[in-house]
Every structure is written in C-alpha cells, then in structure tokens.
C-alpha cells in the first residue's frame, strides 16, 4: 500500500501507548495520518516522535471519555477512530470481582460507544469516516475464566454491526478486527495469570491453551494487526463495512 494513503487524515487511537495500539499509531503515522495517541499512562514521547498529540483519559470514567472526544475534536476533525484500549482479568465467574466486571465493560464497550457517538456526526458531515474496533477472537468464541473480557468483546462486535448499518450511507465504514493471541504486554500478563489459575507452567499456557486450537503455532505480531487496520482505514477498503475481520491463525477453521 502506498505510504501516503492516509495523508490529510486524523486518527484517534485509544490504548496507543503499547502493544497493538502503538503499532497502529506508528503504522498510520508512516501512512501520512496525524495521530492522536490516547492512553491512561503518559505516552507523550511516543506521540511527539510520531508528530502527533497525546491525550490522557481513564476510559472507565464516562465523563473522561466525553472529555477525550471533546479534546480530540478541539484539535480539528477526527476522520478515523480506533477503539483499541482494553485489559484482562482471569478468574472463575464465581470469583470474578464485580468492580472489575464493571470496569471491563466500561473500558471495552461503553467507551467505544461514547467515542463513536461523539465523533460520528463530524464524519457524517464530511462524508467520510472510518471506525475500527479492535475486538478479539474472544468476540466470537469463548474460553473459561474470562467472563468480563469475552462479554465486552462480544458486545463490541455487535456494536460494530449496528453502527455500520446506520453509517454506511454517509461514506463511513465500521469494522471489527478479531485477532487471536498477539504478543503484547497484555498477553504476556495473561500468560502468567493463566499459569497461576490453571496450575501449569507458562510454556504450557502458550502451547496447550493459547495455541492449541490454532493451525499456525505462533503468537501474532502487533504489526500484522496494524497493517490490516491500515488497509481497512484506506480507500481501498471502502466496500467493507459491518465485517468481522479474523486474524486467528486458523482457530475458527475447526
């Protein structure tokens, strides 16, 4: 894909300080976009290195999410929204803390809804927009001990489809990317958590849990997801909307 396919576009990417979000921010910046790097922690050096802007917000706080949308729009039109931020908690459902459940749904479902709600009108007025929701293979299938994460990601896939139907007539596409396990700090933490929960080694978690259903026995690189996101954000993907794009190493082929 040409290196300037996002020239003149502005992209807000949540959770862009590390992992998939960082890879998307870097990839979009190389493609000519001005990136608004959101994270809970300080990611100003990354934003500065990419020629972008850093905005901090706790996505578990609905008022903070509304402020984030307003601050992003104060910088100018936002053409591309990437809802990427997330976190994980591993526990049997009977031991799953209610406060963690609520925070997971706020960060991974309510915050994307609010950002879409506030940014979509500008996209509609300009007749062009892209919304990319970074879901997960767990937006399509389930695994034990992840009730909060799986519920949020299933909801995010449904939100993707509903908004795509509403926005399609205005030149706006809305798609979800559902990767299997990507080698990120989040997944590295999951490996340790699952090893403790299941009483097995970290090597066995990767081999016997994370990669057991996969035809390709490796973790996905963040850059692979970022390149897919770049394609969906470009004009080359203007006919693709309401879709669930799976990068799952063959997981769901069974």
- Catalytic residue set: 149
Neighbours of 34 (CB within 10 A): 20
Find the helix packing angle between 222-233 and 19-30, rounded to 10°: 50
123 three-state secondary structure: helix
Distance between the two ends of the chain, CA-based, in angstroms? 32
Buried/exposed code over 151-172 (b: 16+ C-beta within 10 A; e: otherwise): bbbbbbbebbeebbeebeeeeb
Q: Where are the alpha helices (DSSP H) in 91-144?
A: 98-105, 111-126
């Amino acid at each position: 894909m040409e290196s300037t396919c996002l020239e003149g576009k502005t992209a807000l990417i949540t959770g862009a300080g590390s992992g998939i979000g960082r890879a998307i921010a870097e990839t979009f910046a190389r493609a000519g976009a001005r990136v608004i790097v959101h994270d809970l922690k300080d990611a100003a050096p990354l934003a500065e290195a990419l020629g972008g802007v850093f905005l901090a917000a706790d996505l578990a706080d609905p008022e903070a999410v509304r402020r984030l949308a307003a601050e992003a729009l104060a910088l100018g039109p936002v053409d591309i929204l990437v809802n990427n931020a997330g976190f994980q908690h591993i526990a049997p459902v009977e031991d799953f803390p209610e406060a963690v459940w609520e925070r997971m749904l706020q960060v991974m479902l309510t915050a994307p809804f609010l950002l879409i709600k506030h940014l979509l009108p500008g996209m509609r007025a300009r007749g062009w927009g892209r919304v990319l929701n970074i879901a997960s293979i767990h937006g399509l299938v389930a695994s034990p001990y992840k009730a909060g994460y799986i519920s949020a990601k299933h909801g995010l896939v449904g939100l993707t489809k509903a908004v795509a139907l509403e926005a399609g007539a205005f030149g706006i596409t809305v798609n979800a990317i559902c990767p299997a396990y990507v080698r990120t700090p989040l997944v590295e933490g999951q490996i340790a958590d699952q090893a403790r929960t299941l009483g097995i080694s970290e090597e066995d978690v990767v081999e016997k849990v994370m990669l057991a259903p996969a035809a390709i026995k490796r973790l996905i690189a963040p850059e692979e997801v970022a390149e897919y996101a770049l394609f969906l954000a470009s004009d080359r993907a203007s006919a693709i909307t309401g879709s669930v794009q799976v990068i799952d190493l063959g997981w769901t082929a069974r």
